[in-house]
Amino acid sequence: MSKTGHIVRSFDDDLQELRNAIIEMGGLAEAQLTNAIRALTDRDSRLAEETITADAIVDKMEQDIDALAIRMLALRNPVADDLRLVISALKISSLLERVADYAANLAKRVIALNMVPIIRPVSALPRMADLVRHMIDDILTAFAQEDVDLAFDVWRRDKEVDLLYDSMFRELLTYMMEDPRSITSCTHLIFMAKNIERIGDHMTNIAEMIIYQITGQAPLGKRPKGDNTSMTMIDSQLSGQPKE
Amino acid sequence: MQMIAEITNQEMLENNVVISAEEVSVFYSDKQALNSVSLDIPENQITSLIGPSGCGKSTFLRCLNRMNDTVEGCRVEGLITLEGQDIYAPSVDEVLLRAKVGMVFQKPNPFPKSIYENVAYGPRIHGLARNKDELDDIVLTSLEKAGLLNEVRDRLNSTGTSLSGGQQQRLCIARALAVQPDIILMDEPCSALDPIATAKVEELIEELRINYTIIIVTHSMQQAARISQKTAFFHLGEIVEVGDTEQLFTSPSDSRTQGYITGRFG
């Protein structure tokens, strides 16, 4: 937060409005994820329906933030840290909108899953979601308090989500091989896990925006990653391959 | 992620320094207006000087062609070199210096003479033309370079003051160009102009950069951001920060610069 106010006080009001809108939108996106996961664990299709409907509210908030940011760019000609805040708000709002989309997609798949008997690996999803929810929570705190260290912390933490996704992916593959009747459910679960993993990725993107906004520089170096599923093979396939 | 703050300093490094100020201090009687200012002006670039009123940016600009010599009680200390030569050395002819380092002022100030005479005056007193044809040539070329020729071609004998404000300012630029300067100093050249006339002058300044080195004092942050490659922020007679314009307006390194350009000063 800026130490001194602008000479034009309404400029400060606009900046504060922008900050508040991002925090509110982030809170809503987080709630969407929470509800989608609760709908899964409680097998509550109605809550899932509500979550899908509520996505429109998040979309509207993104539009409002865009409009406010564009107005500020046009009328206030922000520079330096003000410019960086407006630009990062524009980007963060579109990332949060994607987060809410993933939550809505989770909710849709919950409705599908609720039509068939429950399967065991479902329990790993809420654990992953918990990790990601903490990331959302911390990233919003980092944004509100302009806390670079906390933003960096979230940036690095995505690796844990990736690792969990990786192990869940393997578990689901094995599960499908053991019981082909579970393929439909497991496929939904793989997509759901991927959705949550993507939300984690978006948190690192937001962390980068916040770090840029505060310091004027994007974080250097590669972000730690743990998702190796694009290379994952099942053991039986590996052993079936011709030897060199 | 590609960030706007990540810009290269390469262009700046490759350019020659054409004017160099080293620890320049200026006093008006016993009042100090500039305190040990050092700044290198790169060739064929636009350098803007920004800062609140009374910060010393115009004083600094006026040191570069010794316009302060005419101010009573003004004393300049330190070293200012133009292409390596001390411009305050006793041997320097300040009239020639001012031909090499031209100046455009805040308010367009054409002479109460014809458009032609406004431009022809300088080359004539400096003996740059041997005959009428050569003088005509200089006048037309200068008006052309200043982007004014098409608008005044048919009325070169009308008075300069009959032109619009923006045209008058471009006439003053043509007048400065006519004596073949290397450097053009501009002291808030657009502050008396409307946005369209300002845009035309800014467009002209950008074109002139190819052949001239330009130093501009401006109160408009947007103007500095739009046209200059290098920006120096003056405050209380000192340079607080100098750097690539893009860097300075996206991620200034000094909190005073940040405060000034974002409008939090005071």
B35: number of Cβ within 10 Å: 15
pLDDT band, very low/low/confident/very high, at A236 (cuts 50, 70, 90) = low
| Contact between residue A88 and residue A81 where contact means Cβ atoms under 8 Å apart | no
pLDDT band, very low/low/confident/very high, at A234 (cuts 50, 70, 90) = low
Burial state string for B7-18 with b = 16 or more CB within 10 A and e = fewer than 16: eeeeeeeebeeb
Cβ-Cβ contacts under 8 Å for A101 (sequence gap 6 or more) = A55
Q: What is the CA radius of gyration of chain B?
A: 19
The closest CB to that of A79, out of B5, B249, B266, belongs to B249
Encode chain B (266 residues) as per-residue pLDDT tens digits: 343 334 344 444 456 999 999 999 999 998 999 999 999 999 999 999 999 999 999 999 999 999 988 888 999 999 999 999 999 999 999 899 999 999 999 989 999 999 999 999 999 999 999 999 999 999 999 999 999 999 999 999 999 999 999 999 999 999 999 999 999 999 999 988 889 889 989 999 999 999 999 999 999 999 999 999 999 999 999 999 999 999 999 999 999 999 999 998 74
pLDDT digits (tens, 9 = 90+) for A125-177: 999 999 999 999 999 999 999 999 999 999 999 999 999 999 999 999 999 99
Residue B64 has what pLDDT?
96
Q: How far apart are CA A29 and CA A96, in angstroms?
A: 6
Residue B13 has what pLDDT?
47
Does residue A221 surpass a pLDDT of 90?
no
- Secondary structure (3-state) at B261: helix
CA distance B238 to chain A (A): 21
Q: Enumerate the β-bridge partners of residue B26.
A: B34, B76
CA distance B12 to chain A (A): 21
The closest CB to that of A6, out of B1, B3, B263, belongs to B263
Q: What is the 3-state secondary structure (H, E, C) of chain A?
A: CCCCCCCCHHHHHHHHHHHHHHHHHHHHHHHHHHHHHHHHHCCCHHHHHHHHHHHHHHHHHHHHHHHHHHHHHHHHCCCHHHHHHHHHHHHHHHHHHHHHHHHHHHHHHHHHHCCCCCCHHHHHHHHHHHHHHHHHHHHHHHHHHCCHHHHHHHHHHHHHHHHHHHHHHHHHHHHHHHCHHHHHHHHHHHHHHHHHHHHHHHHHHHHHHHHHHHHCCCCCCCCCCCCCHHHCCCHHHHHHCCCC
| Contact between residue A62 and residue A25 where contact means Cβ atoms under 8 Å apart | yes
Contacts of A146 in chain B (CB under 8 A): none
- Identify residues of B whose CB sits under 8 angstroms from chain A CBs: 1, 3-6, 221-222, 225, 249-252, 257-259, 261-266
The pair of three-digit structure tokens given for residue B69, joined into one six-digit string: 């010599």
pLDDT digits (tens, 9 = 90+) for B121-148: 999 999 999 999 999 999 999 999 999 9
User: For the whole model, what pTM was predicted?
Assistant: 0.81
Contacts of B5 in chain A (CB under 8 A): 212, 216-218
Nearest residue on chain B to A12, alpha-carbon basis:
B264
Q: Enumerate the β-bridge partners of residue A86.
A: none
B229: number of Cβ within 10 Å: 18
pLDDT digits (tens, 9 = 90+) for A87-136: 999 999 999 999 999 999 999 999 999 998 888 777 789 999 999 999 99
Which tops the pLDDT comparison, B11 or A228?
A: A228
Cα separation values, B36 from A66, A129, B233, Å: 46, 60, 14
Residue A238 has what pLDDT?
55
**B264/A2 Cβ within 8 A:** yes
The pair of three-digit structure tokens given for residue B84, joined into one six-digit string: 């390596």
Q: Enumerate the β-bridge partners of residue B17.
A: B42
**A80/B261 Cβ within 8 A:** yes
Residue B4 has what pLDDT?
39
pLDDT band, very low/low/confident/very high, at A228 (cuts 50, 70, 90) = confident
Regarding an ipTM greater than 0.85, the answer is no
